Structures are given as structure tokens and as C-alpha cells.
Amino acid sequence: AAIQNDEAPSPDQTTESVEEATRRFAEERAQALNSPKNRPSLSPDLLVGWPNPFNDVINIRFTVPRTLKDTFVWKNEEDRPTEIDLEADVPWSGGQPNVSVKIYSINGQELVTLHSATQGVGESTVHWNGTDAFGRKVASGTYFCKLQLDDWSVTRRLVFIR
């Protein structure tokens, strides 16, 4: 007589299969986003500074987005990969991205780090008072604020007027 095994998979086996499928799906999304043809940029809406120009303190709001739609923009709409669900969560490495907000001089010198942490989804605000990492006032001029989310970044121009 043939022996039939009608037992359901154990919870550990089911969980492992779901975890593997989830990991594979995240890897496929990441590969599609990193292909040279389809590589998007971070949305400029993720980093906003006001008032700009400023003479005392500038408020810098940055966002760690939840969905791919809120995160990326494509130079040409036809470059956007059709196999990606833009409503899907962003596949951040480790579940949450490493986030930094830094100020740079016009010649690329890093002046100060305003924020550096692993961070979950949401908006945050930092402030820059026109000083470097040693507390020295910088000269009037153009500076750059860079938001880094894992391997992705977006930069904004800031104008400091004394």
C-alpha cells in the first residue's frame, strides 16, 4: 500500500518560505532600480530647506520615504521599469536606511554633519546656523546640503548671507 503524507508543513517551514520569497522580491526590486538604464534619482522633495537664502538659521526637512513612488524619480518616464510596483515599500538594507544630512562648501569640503543615524520612515527637521563642525561661522556664499539614504543621495543648494 502506498503511504500518503497529508501533514501540513510545520510553521517553521512556512515562515522560512515566506522569508525567502520576501528576500528574493526585495533583491529583484533593488536590481531593477540599479540597472544602468533604469537608475532613478532620489526625489528632490525628500530634502527641503527654508528660508533660502538665509542669514541666521536654515531649517532643513528631510524625509525617509515608505514607497518607491515617494522615493524615486526617473529622468525619462519611459525609463521607469514596468515590473516594479511603485506602491511597494522601499527595500532599504537592514530594513531601515542609514541616513545622513551634511553641509558642504562650494568646493566639496564637508563642513558639518547635521544628522547621522539609522532611521525609520518619516519626516525630520534639523537646523544649520552657518557654522562648521568646530563652531566657526562660515563666509557668505553658496553651500550644499546632501541627504544620504543608504547608497542614494539628493543635494540642495543653500545660500548663506551675513
Query: What are the φ/ψ torsions at residue 160 (nearest 5 degrees)?
Result: -105, 125
Query: What kind and span of H or E run contains 3?
Result: none
Q: Which of 128, 134, 130, 105 is nearest to 115 (CA)?
A: 128
109-145 pLDDT, tens digit per residue, is 999 999 999 999 999 999 999 999 999 999 999 999 9
3: cell is 503511504
Q: Distance between CA atoms of 28 and 32, rounded to whole angstroms?
A: 6
pTM of the prediction? 0.76
Query: What kind and span of H or E run contains 126?
Result: strand 122-128
In the predicted structure, residue 148 carries a pLDDT above the cut 70: yes
Q: What angle do CA 33, 37, 47 make, to 5 degrees?
A: 50
Peptide bond into 44 cis (omega under 30): no
37-83 pLDDT, tens digit per residue, is 567 889 999 999 999 999 999 999 999 999 988 998 888 878 777 77
Q: Do residues 128 and 113 touch, judged by C-beta distance below 8 A?
A: no
